[in-house]
Amino acid sequence: MARVAAPPKSHAHDHERQDVPSDVALRVMSLESLLIEKGIVDKAALDALIDTYEHKIGPRNGARVVARAWSDPSYRERLLGDATAAIAELGFKGMQGEHMVVVENTPTVHNLVVCTLCSCYPWPVLGLPPVWYKSSPYRARAVLDPRGVLREFGVNLSEDVEVRVWDSTAEIRYLVLPQRPTGTEHLNEEQLAMLVTRDSMVGVARELSSRAQERA
C-alpha cells in the first residue's frame, strides 16, 4: 500500500508559494495567449471568469459560512439542520452546491470529507478542488486509513477522538464546520472568517489558531 495518500500540509501548498511558474502554469499561460491572439477566447470574458473564481467562488465563501455559524447560534442551528438553505442565505448557491450537508467537529469527533468515485466538491463555498483531493491515493486511503491520512496532513488525533468519513457524491456534498478557536471571543465575523482555512473545511486540518491569517 502506498505510504503517502496526499502531501503533508507543509508540501501541499508549495505550488502556491513558488516564485517561478511551474511547467504546467507556463503551458497554460502560453495556450491562453495563443487563444486570445487568434480571437478564440475573449480576454475580458476570461478575466471576468478568473475574477469570479478568485473573489466570488471559493474558500472565502465557506469561511464566511463558518464565521457566521460561530457568531450566530441560530444560524448555526439552521446550518446543521438544512445546510443548503442556510448557505443560500448568504448568497452562495448554484451548480455543485445544490444539496449541502454540514458536519460539525467537536472535542470528541473529527470529520473528514472525500469523494471516492470522482472529485465531487462544493464549488459555491470552496471553489475548485485541490489536486490532492482528486488523487486516487487520497480517495482510497481516506476511507481505508483516515487517521493515517490525517497524520500526513499534520493532524494527530488521540484515540478518544472519533473520525467520521463522509463520502461526497453528485447528489450530496459535505462541508466541515471546524471548532471555533479559543481566545477569539473579541473577534468580529469578518476577523473570524480570516482564521478559517480550506483544509479545515475539508477536514484535513483541525486546530485553528487565533493568530492564523494564512488562507488556503
Spell out the domains of the chain, with CATH numbers in brackets: 20-56 (no CATH), 62-202 (3.90.330.10)
pLDDT at residue 12 greater than cutoff 80 = no
C-alpha Rg value of the chain to the nearest Å: 18
User: What's the gap between Cα 100 and its chain centre?
Assistant: 14
Average pLDDT over residues 196-201: 96
Average pLDDT over residues 106-120: 95
pLDDT for the residue 26: 74
**pLDDT confidence band for 175 (50 / 70 / 90):** very high
The distance in angstroms from the start CA to the end CA of the chain is 29
**How far is Cα 141 from Cα 143, in angstroms, rounded to an integer?**
5
| Cβ atoms of 174 and 204 closer than 8 Å | no
Residues classed as catalytic: 115, 118-120
**pLDDT confidence band for 62 (50 / 70 / 90):** very high
Task: Indicate the average pLDDT of the chain.
Answer: 84
**From start to end of 105-172, where are the E strands?**
109-114, 162-167
pLDDT for the residue 57: 66
Average pLDDT over residues 134-146: 96
**DSSP bridge pairs for 165:** 112
Q: Is 13 exposed, middle or buried (0-12, 13-18, 19+ CB in 10 A)?
A: middle
Would you call 36 helix, strand, or coil by DSSP?
helix
**How far is Cα 164 from Cα 159, in angstroms, rounded to an integer?**
13
Q: How many CB atoms lie within 10 A of CB 63?
A: 24
pLDDT for the residue 199: 96
**How far is Cα 42 from Cα 88, in angstroms, rounded to an integer?**
31
pLDDT at residue 18 greater than cutoff 60 = no
Question: Which phi and psi (to 5°) does residue 53 adopt?
Answer: -75, -30
| Cβ atoms of 154 and 208 closer than 8 Å | no
pLDDT at residue 169 greater than cutoff 70 = yes
Q: How many CB atoms lie within 10 A of CB 146?
A: 21
Which of residues 149 and 53 earns the better pLDDT score?
Answer: 149
